[in-house]
């Protein structure tokens, strides 16, 4: 019995050595299997290749590794493009008068030969799809407007006005003439509006649908109307009485489908063009040439 107790430690020694060597053998076994199948190591690399594990990228699934790679790709760097930038604001395109009577209709009021930047009042219109684009400009720091009327008088008219407010903006507003007074209407058919105040002039551009649902304050532009032209000062963004007592109007109804270039001389240039003044000039000339009796 004593002999058998002395032999037990020797019997357990080989087993302990086997258990200690087991993990090493298990760790090496995949490589040995890969080498035995075609003589290639892990990931299909040939045994003896100069490439090491650095040649095959390893990706950690942790958030830190993901953020690092995202930064390396420069999606978050200052030199990359992390956020879209707002497009630059286009400056107001100047009104072209060379197209008047060709691709758009125009009304000019003021000095003969004036354009959209020098006339006392200027208006143009043209069809764009189902809309009519209007361009207005006047020599004022307040407002400029066009009215659509069944006659040549104010009252019961649909009016579109471009108003220069105290903040320097030019806004397109909708009004309805009640007698000699303009009432602002919240329902505004204008869209794609833009305006500018430069060189003491209010200039704007906007679109308005040709056909609109039946409404007392909004006319259908596919019908012909007299056009009323007006401009004047504004107080805190609110329009006041127009500059002249009798604003100009179109001589006849206007069709948006017919493009004309119509000039109307202002009062300062109508003096010598009236028949009475011409007759007076002829009489004075004849009197001077013939002399006194």
Based on its alpha-carbon atoms, the radius of gyration of the chain, rounded to whole angstroms, reads 43
213 is written with which tokens? Answer: 């649902």
The band of 173, judged by pLDDT with boundaries at 50, 70 and 90, is very high
pLDDT higher than threshold 90 for residue 125: yes
Residue burial 22-44, b: 16+ Cβ < 10 Å; e: rest: eeeeeeeeeeeebeeeeeebeee
Interstrand relation of 181-184 and 170-178 (parallel, antiparallel or unpaired): antiparallel
Per residue in 44-53, pLDDT (tens digit) is 444 444 444 4
162-169 mean pLDDT:
91
The pLDDT, as a whole number, for residue 244 is: 78
Is the pLDDT at 82 greater than 60, yes or no?
no
Q: Judge whether 281 and 274 are in contact, CB under 8 Å.
A: no
Provide CB contacts within 8 A for 38, sequence distance 6+: none
Provide the pLDDT for residue 77.
Answer: 42
Using one digit for the tens of pLDDT, what is the confidence trace for 178-198?
Answer: 877 889 999 999 999 999 999
Element (H, E) at 67: helix 63-72
Phi, then psi, of 66 in degrees rounded to 5: -60, -45
Using DSSP bridges, classify how beta strands 131-138 and 105-110 pair: parallel, antiparallel or unpaired: unpaired
Annotate 255-282 with three-state secondary structure.
CCCCCCEEEEECHHHCHHHCHHHHHHHH
| Complete DSSP assignment for 28-48 | HHHHHHHHHTTSB-GGGPBTT
Instruction: Say if residue 214's pLDDT is above 60.
Output: yes
Domains, in order of start, for the chain: 105-269 (2.60.40)
Find the range with the poorest average confidence among 24-38, 215-229, 260-274. Answer: 24-38
């Amino acid at each position: 019995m004593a002999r058998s107790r002395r032999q037990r430690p020797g019997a357990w020694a080989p087993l302990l050595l086997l258990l200690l060597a087991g993990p090493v053998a298990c760790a090496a076994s995949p490589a040995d299997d890969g080498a035995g199948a075609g003589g290639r190591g892990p990931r299909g690399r040939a045994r003896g290749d100069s490439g090491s594990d650095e040649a095959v990228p390893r990706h950690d699934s942790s958030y830190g590794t993901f953020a690092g790679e995202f930064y390396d790709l420069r999606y978050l760097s200052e030199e990359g493009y992390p956020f879209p930038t707002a497009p630059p604001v286009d400056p107001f395109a100047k009104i072209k008068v060379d197209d008047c009577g060709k691709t758009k209709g125009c009304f000019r009021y003021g000095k003969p030969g004036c354009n959209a930047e020098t006339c006392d009042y200027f208006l143009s219109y043209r069809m764009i799809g189902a809309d009519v684009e209007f361009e207005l400009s006047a020599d004022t720091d307040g407002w400029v407007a066009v009215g659509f009327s069944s006659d040549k008088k104010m009252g019961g008219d649909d009016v579109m006005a471009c108003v220069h407010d105290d903040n320097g903006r030019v806004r397109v507003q909708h009004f309805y003439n009640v007698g000699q007074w303009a009432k602002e209407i919240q329902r505004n058919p204008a869209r794609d509006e833009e305006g500018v105040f430069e060189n003491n002039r209010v200039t704007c551009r906007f679109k308005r649908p040709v056909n609109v649902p039946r409404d007392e304050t909004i006319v259908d532009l596919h019908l012909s109307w007299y056009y009323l032209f007006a401009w004047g000062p504004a107080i805190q963004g609110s329009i006041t009485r127009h500059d002249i007592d009798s604003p100009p109007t179109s001589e006849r109804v206007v069709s948006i489908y017919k493009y004309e270039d119509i000039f109307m001389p202002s009062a300062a240039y109508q003096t010598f063009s009236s028949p009475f003044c011409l007759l007076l000039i002829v009489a004075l000339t004849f009197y001077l040439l013939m002399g006194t009796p």
